[in-house]
Amino acid sequence: MWGVMSDRVYLDYNATTPLRSEARSAMIAAMDVLGNPSSVHSEGRAAKALVERARAQVSTALGAEGADVIFTSSATEAAALACAGRGLSAAPVEHDAVAAWTDSALTVSPLGAIEIDDSACSAVQLANSETGVLQALPDGLAVCDMTQAFGKQPISFNRSGAQMALVSAHKLGGPKGVGALVVRRGTDVAAQIKGGGQEMGRRSGTENIIGIAGFGAAAEAAARDLAGGVWDRVEKLRNILEKTIAAAGNKTIFVGIDAARLPNTSCILTPGWKGETQVMAMDLAGFAVSAGSACSSGKVRASAVLRAMGHSESDAASAIRVSLGPQTTEDEITRFAQVWLRHLDKHRARVSA
């Protein structure tokens, strides 16, 4: 079950998701656990048991049984732990957390497919946060950012061929401020935060057992939703949105529509209408959407993802991302499309005048 939201229509699930009731309950219960997970007495063992339960929940949901799940403060920290000092190559469509540690040497097709030369020296995302485009992962890939796909798309880390993967709790109904690096056994990972040797010696510091408990519960619930077909319904709503907008006969482009995509993501590009202007107009109308990745949306710049896919600077600055979730209704989608189209007409009238 997902948490209750306001009367506003939230269509920015790729930025963050509402907290699941399962995660909230697990976190409240964890608040009453006294011990430090590193202590050997009964209270410490009880705290350790919470962490290990969550580790098993995340591992099972991700199809990573037998791999090491290292809890971190975020997927961003996991990216630093996985990529620092490795000299990896990536494409310009990667999230900033990965791009900060890699060389943007890989090229991207107009459909968003990343061309990989040497998988063992590459970091490749499974799903793009702005366009939803999914990648075919090669065997032996060094690092895979699975953050956006986890919980929305069937995933098996063990079958992916990746040596390491990044995931985050708040993208699937868990709390903010907790993530994980998943490591195939035998893969060398040098600790970036050193000290007490927690998390199998890879990430020192007392574990955030409240956040970790919420992560585990959210991952388990997300796996149930996925198996129950929840995201199939979301995909139908996404398709209704795009067909409704396309039927209006405008020149809007749905980026990545001819590629395999996440079921909830629509990147809507309208040449000449700035994305940030659209976001503000929709916000005032009661709809939450974004103009790109939440980690870079505060910066006024054209999307590097869309530029890498061959769109011009102007067009890349004229896109919004609408990302749906299990709570989204057909009525909300219909109302959003109607309001967005009205604002598009007003924009074109101003341009013509």
56 in any annotated domain: yes
CA distance 222 to 224: 5
pLDDT given at position 293: 61
141 in any annotated domain: yes
pLDDT given at position 352: 85
Tell me, yes or no, whether 171 and 32 share the same domain. yes
pLDDT given at position 3: 59
Place of tokens 């574990």: 207
Q: Name the least confident of 80-89, 133-142, 161-170, 246-255.
A: 246-255
Q: Which of 227, 258, 278 is the last residue of a domain?
A: 227
Tell me, yes or no, whether 152 and 116 share the same domain. yes
pLDDT over 70, % of the chain: 95
pLDDT given at position 6: 61
Q: What is the mean pLDDT of residues 326-338?
A: 98
User: 329 pLDDT exceeds 90?
Assistant: yes
CA distance 341 to 353: 18
Tell me, yes or no, whether 303 and 209 share the same domain. no
Q: What is the mean pLDDT of residues 142-147?
A: 98
Place of tokens 């007409």: 345
Can you give the pTM of this predicted structure? 0.94
Tell me, yes or no, whether 209 and 235 share the same domain. no
Tell me, yes or no, whether 157 and 240 share the same domain. no
Q: Which of 185, 204, 227 is the last residue of a domain?
A: 227
130 in any annotated domain: yes
109 in any annotated domain: yes
11-41 confidence digits (pLDDT tens): 999 999 999 999 999 999 999 999 999 999 9
User: 221 pLDDT exceeds 80?
Assistant: yes
Determine contact, residues 270/344, Cβ cutoff 8 Å. Answer: yes
Quote the strand ranges of the chain, DSSP E: 9-10, 68-72, 107-108, 114-115, 123-125, 143-145, 164-168, 179-183, 253-255, 265-269, 287-288, 319-323
- Give me the CATH number covering residue 206: 3.40.640.10
2 in any annotated domain: no
Where residue 224 falls among pLDDT bands split at 50, 70, 90?
very high
Where residue 299 falls among pLDDT bands split at 50, 70, 90?
low
The residues, ordered by sequence, that sit 6+ positions from 280 with a Cβ below 8 Å of its Cβ are: none
From the list 190, 139, 134, the residue with the least C-alpha distance to 163 is: 139
Tell me, yes or no, whether 185 and 205 share the same domain. yes
Where residue 5 falls among pLDDT bands split at 50, 70, 90?
low
User: 296 pLDDT exceeds 80?
Assistant: no
In order of 228, 300, 328, 349, the CA distances from 57 in angstroms are 17, 39, 26, 53
At 233, which helix (H) or strand (E)? helix 230-247
Count Cβ atoms within 10 A of the Cβ of residue 177 and give its class: 0-12 exposed, 13-18 middle, 19 or more buried.
middle
The residues, ordered by sequence, that sit 6+ positions from 348 with a Cβ below 8 Å of its Cβ are: none
> Roughly what angle, to the nearest 10 degrees, separates helices 209-227 and 21-31?
160
**Which residue range is the domain that position 342 belongs to?**
230-352
CA distance 289 to 182: 30
248-264 confidence digits (pLDDT tens): 888 899 999 999 999 99
Tell me, yes or no, whether 40 and 145 share the same domain. yes
* Widest CA span in the chain: 75
Tell me, yes or no, whether 203 and 164 share the same domain. yes
User: 300 pLDDT exceeds 80?
Assistant: no
Instruction: Tell me the pLDDT of the chain averaged across its residues.
Output: 95
Tell me, yes or no, whether 243 and 256 share the same domain. yes
CA distance 182 to 154: 16
- Give me the CATH number covering residue 270: 3.90.1150.10
CA distance 49 to 213: 10
4 in any annotated domain: no
Q: Which of 83, 144, 267, 295 is catalytic?
A: 295
1 in any annotated domain: no
Tell me, yes or no, whether 223 and 234 share the same domain. no
Tell me, yes or no, whether 174 and 255 share the same domain. no
Q: Which of 194, 227, 260 is the last residue of a domain?
A: 227
Composition of the chain by helix, strand, coil, percent to 5: 40, 15, 45
Q: Give the tokens for residue 122.
A: 């590459």
Tell me, yes or no, whether 132 and 24 share the same domain. yes
Place of tokens 């980026």: 255
50 in any annotated domain: yes
79-117 confidence digits (pLDDT tens): 999 999 999 999 999 999 999 999 999 999 999 999 999
83 flagged as catalytic: no
Q: Does residue 301 come out as left (phi exceeding 0), alpha (psi in the -120 to 50 range) or beta? A: beta
Q: Name the least confident of 111-125, 152-166, 289-303.
A: 289-303
Q: What is the mean pLDDT of residues 259-278?
A: 97
pLDDT given at position 250: 82
Count Cβ atoms within 10 A of the Cβ of residue 64 and give its class: 0-12 exposed, 13-18 middle, 19 or more buried.
buried
User: 270 pLDDT exceeds 80?
Assistant: yes
Q: Give the tokens for residue 29.
A: 């219960």
User: 166 pLDDT exceeds 70?
Assistant: yes
Q: What is the mean pLDDT of residues 227-233?
A: 98
User: 2 pLDDT exceeds 90?
Assistant: no
**What type of residue is 257?**
I
CA distance 38 to 196: 9
Where residue 297 falls among pLDDT bands split at 50, 70, 90?
very low
Q: Name the least confident of 104-118, 229-243, 247-261, 292-306.
A: 292-306
In order of 30, 97, 230, 273, the CA distances from 226 in angstroms are 26, 27, 6, 36
pLDDT over 90, % of the chain: 92
Total domains in the fold of the chain: 2
